[in-house]
Amino acid sequence: MRRLNVIGIGAGDPEYLTVQAVEALNRTDVFFFTDKGEDKSELLHLRSEICERYAGRGQYRIVEIPDPQRDLAEPMYGHAVGEWHEKRAVLWGKLLESELADRDVGAFLVWGDPAFYDSTLRIFDLVQARTTCEFELEVIPGISAIQALAARHKISLTQIGGSLIITTGRQLLNGWPEGATDVVVMLDAHCSFRELDDSLSIYWGAFLGTDDEILVSGTIADCGAQIEEVRSAARKRKGWIFDTYLLRQQER
């Protein structure tokens, strides 16, 4: 039976790789690189660097998986995402069958941890449901941007006995989640925190774990405008941005 590892590679610093991830990289015969059509060449470069540094004693192949065409007129939510995943599942199934021999080990490298806002595992569920391709799957956890954010700000994400909500900028535009005290926000293209009560504390981080890392913290009233400015300048300079933040309501 062919084996497939989905390996979390951490969210920025190559040294976020765990010992388990390095061992899995070393056992890999074929790396499957997905091209999501994003212009984040630095991320692609980091992926190749990780393979060169840690993988397979040089005895591996890389197979690039092109992304199926998607309907750019449709926003990538709901139906459009579902259809796009179906197309990817069929393509991935075919490639796994043609590129991985019995007993070969394949690997997909996932930014951060595969458990957070990443479709790789969902697509593998579809590959198993929709195609004849058989494989044994293993998931190697990685250090997510969420953990990197907490470590770099030197904070715990949870207050004593409290809950943590992880959400997106888009969801946050619907308002502060009921009953929440601590909310981690990812995938926010619009500084959605600007719509909220400005007495909330914010711990913001961009390009965490990289040489370009930026950290800002304070109340939204004190540093919301600064974050917007710094974010927009960094995005302009690099052409893209990855940022994550914690919003905290102090317990009364």
Ligand X SMILES: C[S@@+](CC[C@H](N)C(=O)[O-])C[C@H]1O[C@@H](n2cnc3c(N)ncnc32)[C@H](O)[C@@H]1O
CA distances 56 to 21, 31, 107, 139, 247, Å, are: 12, 10, 11, 18, 41
Half-sphere exposure of 141 (CA within 13 A, CB side): 6
Kindly state the smallest distance separating residue 160's Cβ from ligand X, in Å.
25
Kindly state the smallest distance separating residue 8's Cβ from ligand X, in Å.
7
Under rule CB under 6 A, which residues in 192-221 are in contact with ligand X? 205-209
Q: Is 12 in the site for ligand X (CB under 6 A)?
A: yes
Residue 151: CB partners within 8 Å, gap ≥ 6?
none
Q: Which stretch binds ligand X (CB under 6 A): 48-56, 82-90, 175-183, 241-249?
A: 241-249
Residue closer to ligand X, measured from CB, 167 or 181: 167
Q: Where are the alpha helices (DSSP H) in the chain?
A: 19-26, 41-54, 79-99, 120-130, 145-153, 169-172, 220-238
**30-34 sheet: strands from edge to edge:** 61-65, 30-34, 105-110, 3-8, 136-140
Residue nearest to ligand X (CB): 112
CA–CA separation, 110 and 47 (whole Å):
9
Residue closer to ligand X, measured from CB, 102 or 211: 211
Residue closer to ligand X, measured from CB, 144 or 181: 144
Q: Which stretch binds ligand X (CB under 6 A): 62-70, 106-114, 156-164, 225-233?
A: 106-114
Summarize as ranges the residues that interact with ligand X (CB under 6 A).
11-12, 111-113, 116-118, 144-145, 186-187, 205-209, 242-244
